[in-house]
Amino acid sequence: MPAFLSLAEAIATHVKDGDTLAMEGFTHLIPYAAGHEIIRQGRKHLTLIRMTPDILYDQLIGVGAADKLIFSWGGNPGVGSLHRLRDAVENGWPHKLAIEEHSHAAMANAYEAGAANLPFATFRGYIGADLPKVNPNIRSVTCPFTGEVLAAVPAHRPDVSIIHALRADRKGNVLLEGIVGVQKEAVLAAKKAIVTVEEIVDDLGAPSPNSVILPGWTITAVVAVPGGAHPSYAQGYYKRDNAFYIAWDPIARERDTFLAWIDAHVMRATPADFAARRPAA
Amino acid sequence: MNAPSLGFTATEMMTIAAARVLRNDDVCFVGIGAPSAACNLARLTHAPGITLIYESGTIGTEPDVLPLSIGDGELCDTALTTVAVPEMFRYWLQGGRITVGFLGGAQIDRFANLNTTVVGPYDAPKVRLPGGGGAPEIAAHSREIFITMAMGSRAFVEKLPFITSMGHGTGGDHRARLGLKTLGPTRVMTDRCILEPDPDSKELTVVSLHPGETREGVEAQCGWPLKFAADLKETPAPTAEELEVLRALHERTRRAHAGG
């Protein structure tokens, strides 16, 4: 059974400087509150893994928490660039960021390989593309049966994976619904997993015997943070705050407006503030 | 140039031209941005049976407004089913279930290779773009690829700084030589014209000019010397229904995304 902790306790206990950290959620259920706690506690030298580093990783990169990013698509979806990511890559601000870049197929396969306790993932990928020329972790294997040459990438094995789920029961079993992304794979691939949830309930109320449930014994810590996925969304709880995604563009464009926003909305805020940020369902 | 007197914008013409090429029985993997508008316009007009798939895992989605991201709740709420992302890429895309991959891009070359990664050197980029996302494998495994993007000499370039996803490579039978059995890019719908690869060389060739466009006007928006088909056609202007449905879709979308 996982520990039921406050968010500050969970991050302080389980996320260390220099860790390799995966925070997943494919547009949906992005663990923003946990990311903000990591910023507040001043973690440094992180290797951040995420398929779609969006605003959350823009914030972590902008404050200088990350030394390296492993990713496959780094933009503000439907809006444009991640200006803090671009500033780090193009200008080295606040410091140079190492990047290991993949395709979505590679990242998804790498999480699955990690969950399956395999050393690498293989798939039919990167054909005719330039990424293998700039990423030495994109290699190939030859099929022992057909001789076909297939792409190979190392499995993701994060020190810690952090996800946001809909709810947990009193034993710490958690339920995900809707766009479930790679969260199950990220949790099962990691040495430790922290799950923030909208609420803790007596009965999960799983809608189907095939619901995506992570048993409590696969999770290190469970934290109730209502609204903890804002400005992304939680299926059935609140909608995606698209207006915030659009508003982020001018905030992140300049270093001073970004730092002022972090100071006001992260450093001077608490996890409890997320509840009031939720738009109506 | 499309004069206002034509009654539609160049972007509307592009979206409508892109929508028209989709078929009712297509299973379409929808890229973010311009392709999403075209695919949903097709579904709301001549192709109500089309299956739209977004890489977030939503299969058979029927959104009432265009999603801002590829993972808006609207996509999941209206989908036939939603699968995990590894399954999406392994079973549905790599498994060969997709008939059309619909992509956009920041830059394209004459063989319809796409760049969405960097402008300038990879290690010291002038502009860091978002990256490939699903595109490298969508481009390889969909039965064919449609591309839609606005023309411009910085977008239609002689040489790409980076090939994010392969179109026809260096042309000819390059795809087949790499073991690919899929068709690759078969059509490019822009705001000024429609291009298709030459059957042999695979070089993009203008096959249809949109109403009001000229050869010279289109050439000026392209970074390589453009070839034109011998039987160059004019794209039929948008119908009243196409414009009405598209504008209503954009209006619903604007209202939905302004909330929050």
What is the reported pLDDT for B31? Answer: 86
Tokens 């994109």 map to which residue? A138
* CB–CB contact A243 B260 (8 Å): yes
Smallest Cα distance from B141 to chain A, Å: 9
- Kindly give the residue spans of alpha helices, DSSP state H, lying in B66-173: 73-77, 85-87, 135-141
Report the residue from B57, B68, B180 with minimal CB separation from A127: B180
Q: How many CB atoms lie under 10 A from the CB of residue B10?
A: 18
Q: Which residues contact A149 (CB under 8 A, 6 or more apart)?
A: A140, A141, A142, A143
Place of tokens 């079993």: A173
Please check whether residue B3 is in contact with residue B225, taking contact to mean a CB–CB distance below 8 angstroms.
no
**Quick check: B169 and A128 CB within 8 A?**
yes
Tokens 């490939």 locate to: B132
- Between CA A180 and CA B85 the distance in angstroms is 8
* Pick from A136, A137, A182, A130: nearest CA to A161: A182
Using CB atoms, pick whichever of A104, A148, A242 lies closest to residue B68. A242
Hey, where are the domains in chain B? 4-258
Nearest CA to B69 out of A261, A26, A118, A91 is that of A26
Cβ–Cβ below 8 Å for A28 and B175: no
Helices (H), chain A: 7-14, 32-40, 55-62, 83-91, 104-115, 131-134, 183-189, 242-253, 255-262, 274-277
- The pLDDT-based confidence of B70 (bands split at 50, 70, 90) is confident
Check if CATH label 3.20.20.140 holds for domain B4-258.
no
Please name each of the domains of chain A with its CATH number: 3-43+157-277 (3.40.1080.10), 104-154 (no CATH)
Confidence of residue B9 (pLDDT cuts 50, 70, 90): very high
The chain-wide mean pLDDT, for chain B, equals 95
Residues of chain A neighbouring B142 (CB-CB closer than 8 A): none
Which residue is associated with the tokens 């056609």? B233
Separation between Cα atoms, residue A239 and residue B73, nearest integer Å: 7
**With an 8 Å Cβ cutoff, are A75 and B162 in contact?**
no
A101 exposed, middle or buried (CB, 10 Å; 0-12, 13-18, 19+)?
buried
CB contact under 8 A, A73 and B132: yes
Q: Assess whether pLDDT exceeds 90 at residue B1.
A: no
Which pLDDT score, from 0 to 100, does residue B32 have? 78
Q: How far is the C-alpha of A254 from the C-alpha of A116, rounded, in Å?
A: 42
Print pLDDT tens along chain A (281 aa).
Answer: 999 999 999 999 999 999 999 999 999 999 999 999 999 999 999 999 999 999 999 999 999 999 999 999 999 998 999 999 999 999 999 999 999 999 999 999 999 999 999 999 999 999 999 999 999 999 999 999 999 999 999 999 999 999 999 999 999 999 999 999 999 999 999 999 999 999 999 999 988 999 999 999 999 999 999 999 999 999 999 999 999 999 999 999 999 999 999 999 999 999 999 999 988 76
- Partner-chain contact B132 A71, CB within 8 Å: no
CA distance A105 to chain B (A): 6
Asked whether the predicted pLDDT for residue B2 surpasses 70, the reply is no
Angstrom distances, CA of residue B244 to CA of A191, B44, B98, B238, B240: 54, 11, 29, 10, 6
CA distance A98 to A47: 9
What one-character DSSP code corresponds to residue A234? Answer: B
Distance of CA A214 to the CA centre of its chain: 17
**Residue among B33, B131, B137 minimizing CB distance to A125:** B137
Q: List pLDDT tens digits, range B75-118.
A: 999 999 999 999 999 999 999 999 999 999 899 999 999 999 99
Q: Find, in chain B, the residue whose alpha carbon is nearest to that of A178.
A: B76
Confidence of residue B257 (pLDDT cuts 50, 70, 90): confident
- CB contacts of A71 in chain B (<8 Å) are 131
Q: Between A and B, how many residue pairs show a Cβ–Cβ distance under 8 A?
A: 190
Q: Would you state the pLDDT for residue B34?
A: 87
Partner-chain contact B136 A126, CB within 8 Å:
yes
pLDDT recorded at residue B40:
97
Reply yes or no on whether the pLDDT at B4 is more than 70: no
Q: Which residue has the tokens 């030298």?
A: A45
Question: CB-based burial of residue A201 (10 Å sphere; 0-12 exposed, 13-18 middle, 19+ buried)?
Answer: middle
**C-alpha to C-alpha distances, A237 to A29, A269, A280, B138, B256, nearest whole angstrom:** 11, 22, 8, 32, 18
Collapse the DSSP code of A17 into the 3-class scheme (helix H, G, I; strand E, B; otherwise coil) and give the result. Answer: coil
Residue at B44: amino acid letter: L
Residue B50 has pLDDT above 60, yes or no: yes
ipTM of the complex as predicted:
0.96
- Nearest chain B Cα distance for residue A92, angstroms: 10
Rounded-to-integer distance, Cα B69 and Cα A231, Å: 13
Cis peptide before A231 (omega within 30 of 0): yes
Helix ranges (DSSP H) in B50-206: 73-77, 85-87, 135-141, 174-177
Strand partners, B128: B118
Contact residues on chain B for A182, CB-CB shorter than 8 A = 84-86
B216 catalytic residue (yes or no):
no
Q: Which residues contact B197 (CB under 8 A, 6 or more apart)?
A: B111, B112, B168, B184, B185, B186, B203, B204, B205
- Does B260 score more than 60 pLDDT? no
**Catalytic: which of B12, B55, B62, B203?**
B55
